[in-house]
Amino acid sequence: MIRNQWYVVLDSREVKNCPVGVTRMGEKLVFWRDGEGRVVCFRDRCVHRGVALSAGKVLPNGRLQCPFHGFEYDASGRVTVIPANSRSSPVPERFRVHAYPTHEAHGFIWIWWGDDPPADLQPPRFFDDLEGFHCAQAIDPWEAHYSRVIENQLDPIHLPFVHHNTIGRGNRTIVDGPVVRWLDPDRFRVYVVSRQDDGRPPLKPEEVDVSGQTFWLEFMFPNLWQNHISKDVRVVAAFVPVDEEHTLLYLRFYQRFLRLPLFGDLVARLAMPFNVLVAHQDRRVVQTQRPKPSALRGDEQLVQGDRPIVEYRRRREELMG
């Protein structure tokens, strides 16, 4: 997994008044809200005797208390009170747990997963064209490495086979291009033009005119994706790494063709079962891929339609150093 990146790791609604223990990026983490309601993230291990802090509680003073010996932690990860030494005794600086920077926006919680965040750490980015949309969400577990789940959503040539009775109807097996356009070093779009096989090979990317096209896929490193179906309909996914073999797909449907508050939300919710069905068609296949993580250099024999996957792998390898 790529270090020193902002990762979407949770939905905001998953962290309420009590500590929440989860595994992300192969680490046991605890999330909680301080006295101001801000989300805090620690490694889920008390510095004293290794107890899971997620089994503790948030005190009225906004600190996290270990359930074993009552050590109290502030939002920076520093132990402020060791009850056995008396509340008035100073606590040595070494009593500190690793805390990850967090950011909460758009109903998601991010963490900066790295060692030493820069002093001028900027907040994470999100898609900037989703204002005014109604949204519904499903959280779907996959027994797959997050890189494979991402690549599945960048793969235009699987649709007629995996989704033959849903979004891949029409037997359009030929994909012209696909065209990949980088918006900046960590964000690109994929434009897809598909057609039935008439004996002509797929056009090269430079031969495809995508000007005026309103449908595209967009990926933002390290783990955000948008299917820009139209100006009023989108599907967004956060590919949340649990460990090397498990991913949580946070799948959202956005719509604004019906903007009435209650009905807009209802329409978004009603669309989710279909979107989950499509995701499960993918999941059944992706979970069989070996090796679990993808790699730029391996024994897979790729074809022209895999260009978005190659672009993703190349940049991922660069970021992993």
Q: Where are the domains of the chain?
A: 5-113, 134-320
Residue with tokens 């499960």: 280
Where do we find the tokens 């595994």?
23
Give buried/exposed letters for 106-129 (b at 16+ CB in 10 A, else e). eebbbbbbbeeeeeeeeebebbee
Q: What letters, b where the CB count within 10 A reaches 16 and e where it falls short, cover 185-211?
A: eebbbbbbbbeeeeeeebbebeebebe
Burial class (CB in 10 A: 0-12, 13-18, 19+), 88: exposed
Q: What is the structure's pLDDT at 259?
A: 83
Nearest C-alpha neighbor of 66 from the set 47, 85, 40: 47
pLDDT at 189: 98
Please report which residue ranges of 185-306 form alpha helices under DSSP H. 261-286
φ/ψ of 136, rounded to 5, equals -135, 160
The pLDDT, as a whole number, for residue 85 is 96
pLDDT value of position 76:
97
Quote the CATH superfamily of domain 5-113.
Rieske [2Fe-2S] iron-sulphur domain (2.102.10.10)
Report which of 82, 111, 155 is spatially closest to residue 9, judged by C-alpha positions. Answer: 111
pLDDT attached to residue 321: 86
For the entire predicted model, the pTM comes to 0.96
Q: Per-residue pLDDT tens, the chain, 321 aa: give them.
A: 999 999 999 999 999 999 999 999 999 999 999 999 999 999 999 999 999 999 999 999 999 999 999 999 999 999 999 999 999 999 999 999 999 999 999 999 999 999 889 999 999 999 999 999 999 999 999 999 999 999 999 999 999 999 999 999 999 999 999 999 999 999 999 999 999 999 999 999 999 999 989 999 999 999 999 999 999 999 999 999 999 999 999 999 999 999 888 899 999 999 999 999 999 999 999 999 999 999 999 899 999 999 999 999 999 999 998
Enter the CATH code of domain 134-320: 3.90.380.10
